[in-house]
């Protein structure tokens, strides 16, 4: 008889895990407190860009960002009223802003991301119908120093991790590729093999294929309690129902920390709040996803729309739309364009990136349990890493092991 797995959280990580578990012959149920993929997995930039996979805590971040930290329209902002609640997490985060941890984190992320394109292609081959673009990823800069640093970073990255070397572009060459980029841009670089997807289309494709294969998807079902016997989870509960299974997988994104407490597991996840604005039928057209190097914001073109987004705000889990932050995103993008990006209509959005203090995902068995797993903490790169993560979790649940090196993502590392 097939074994039963229950997944808690129906974002892109839960959906992808459900997909690979189903492929391994499991009876899968996914419980989602709201609508599927309606939290951070919606509204993001959709970059599938393994060359960019680095831990968020990086050397020099503290120095260069200190001027931003309390400024309401800056790329990184800590809400003063949230500081007491966040201080433990922030001090752990700051400890990881050093060369050694950053290099180790990059190595770990890149060892997983080598499979990203192959797995995205295999999803297409299996009939998932989603919007994926292969025009590469364009990085543009207003400042020569930042440009130089960007070029060096990706030359080094290509040597160390095997992604394509950057094609270096003058300002005019950038404008040849993207005529709406302003004369203020001094140059850029193109990573030709990187991709981007429309993230909503990926989640929708997962939902459709899972439903068509008989996977049980339950929306509006919030998991509130667990029932345990020693080191085994027997069932989980919503307010109205009790669900039994052989194995449980926690993929609740930024909310995973709350639920982890029910497992007596102290998982340090904070929400890294970001904003985006989706502009329908935009007045300016773009061919490439564009990383705006100096302001850390981005533009993603999709069929019929363009999305601008960015910023990182540490203010706890809350979906309030801070107009200053949204205006900050608009201003960051305007600096790079010849004219204002407008359209028929706009959707402003905010999402909670699940952030660990070392900038690495958490993948594996929940400490002290033998049938409860966790997959979260993907920060800025959850869409890109979703297929690899899903495959890893299915491997682990199925056989207790995986070919990927997952030691750096050990859920136990916070308890040591």
> Binding residues for ligand FAD, per CB under 6 A?
8-14, 31-34, 38-41, 44-47, 222-223, 251-255, 259, 274, 276, 309, 351, 353-354, 376, 378-384
SS percent in the chain: helix, strand, coil, step 5:
35, 25, 40
Q: What distance lies between CA 223 and its chain's CA centroid? A: 23
Identify which of residues 170 and 321 has a Cβ nearer to ligand FAD in the complex: 321
Identify which of residues 223 and 394 has a Cβ nearer to ligand FAD in the complex: 223
Q: What CA–CA distance (Å, rounded) separates 349 from 276?
A: 5
Comparing CA positions, the residue from 397, 372, 351 lying closest to residue 203 is 351
Return all residues near 14 (Cβ < 8 A) that are at least 6 apart: 7, 8, 30, 32, 249, 251, 252
Least Å distance, CB 224 to ligand FAD, is 7
Identify which of residues 147 and 380 has a Cβ nearer to ligand FAD in the complex: 380
Quick one: angle between helices 199-212 and 12-23, nearest 10? 40
Identify which of residues 30 and 181 has a Cβ nearer to ligand FAD in the complex: 30
Least Å distance, CB 68 to ligand FAD, is 16
Integer angstrom CA distances of residue 166 from 50, 51, 56, 292? 13, 10, 22, 16
Identify which of residues 46 and 171 has a Cβ nearer to ligand FAD in the complex: 46
| Residue 209 parent element (H or E) | helix 199-212
Least Å distance, CB 221 to ligand FAD, is 6
Least Å distance, CB 351 to ligand FAD, is 4
**111 and 160 Cβ atoms separated by less than 8 Å:** no
Least Å distance, CB 222 to ligand FAD, is 4
Identify which of residues 10 and 171 has a Cβ nearer to ligand FAD in the complex: 10
**352 and 44 Cβ atoms separated by less than 8 Å:** no
**13 and 254 Cβ atoms separated by less than 8 Å:** no
Least Å distance, CB 33 to ligand FAD, is 4
Least Å distance, CB 183 to ligand FAD, is 27
Least Å distance, CB 199 to ligand FAD, is 7
Identify which of residues 171 and 278 has a Cβ nearer to ligand FAD in the complex: 278
Q: What CA–CA distance (Å, rounded) separates 163 from 268?
A: 31
Identify which of residues 40 and 169 has a Cβ nearer to ligand FAD in the complex: 40
Cα dihedral value 387, 388, 389, 395, nearest 10? 110
**23 and 29 Cβ atoms separated by less than 8 Å:** no
Identify the sign of the CA torsion 331, 81, 56, 144.
Answer: positive
């Amino acid at each position: 008889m097939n074994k039963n797995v229950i997944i808690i959280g129906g974002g892109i990580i839960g959906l992808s895990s459900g997909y690979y578990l189903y492929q391994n012959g499991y009876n899968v149920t996914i419980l989602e407190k709201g609508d599927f993929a309606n939290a951070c997995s919606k509204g993001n930039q959709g970059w599938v860009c393994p060359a960019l996979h680095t831990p968020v805590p990086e050397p020099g971040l503290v120095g260069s960002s200190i001027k931003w930290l309390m400024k309401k329209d800056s790329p990184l902002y800590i809400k003063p009223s949230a500081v007491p609640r966040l201080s433990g997490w922030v001090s752990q985060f700051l400890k990881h802003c050093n060369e050694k941890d950053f290099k180790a984190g990059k190595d770990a992320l890149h060892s997983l991301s080598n499979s990203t394109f192959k797995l995205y292609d295999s999803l297409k081959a299996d009939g998932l119908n989603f919007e994926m673009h292969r025009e590469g990823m364009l990085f543009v800069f207003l400042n020569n120093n930042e440009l130089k640093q960007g070029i060096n970073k990706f030359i080094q990255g290509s040597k160390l991790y095997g992604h394509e070397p950057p094609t270096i572009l003058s300002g005019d060459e950038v404008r040849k590729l993207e005529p709406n980029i302003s004369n203020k841009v001094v140059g850029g670089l193109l990573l030709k093999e990187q991709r981007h997807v429309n993230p909503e289309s990926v989640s929708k494709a997962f939902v459709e294929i899972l439903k068509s294969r008989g996977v049980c998807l339950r929306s509006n079902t919030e998991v509130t309690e667990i029932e345990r016997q020693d080191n085994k989870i027997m069932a989980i509960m919503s307010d109205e129902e009790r669900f039994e299974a052989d194995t449980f997988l926690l993929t609740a994104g930024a909310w995973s920390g709350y639920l982890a407490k029910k497992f007596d597991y102290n998982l340090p996840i904070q929400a890294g709040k970001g904003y985006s604005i989706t502009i329908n039928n935009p007045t300016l057209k773009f061919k490439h996803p564009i990383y705006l190097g100096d302001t850390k914001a981005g533009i993603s073109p999709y069929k019929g729309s363009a999305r601008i987004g960015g910023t990182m705000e540490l203010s706890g889990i809350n979906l309030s739309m801070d107009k200053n932050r949204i205006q900050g995103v608009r201003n960051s993008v305007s600096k790079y364009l010849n004219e204002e990006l407008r359209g028929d209509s706009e959707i402003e959005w905010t999402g909670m990136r699940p952030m660990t203090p070392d900038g690495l995902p958490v993948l594996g068995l929940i400490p002290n349990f033998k049938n409860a797993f966790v997959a979260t903490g993907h920060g800025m790169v959850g869409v890109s890493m979703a297929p690899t993560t899903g495959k890893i979790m299915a491997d682990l649940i199925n056989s207790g092991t995986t070919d990927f090196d997952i030691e750096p993502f050990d859920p136990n590392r916070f308890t040591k």
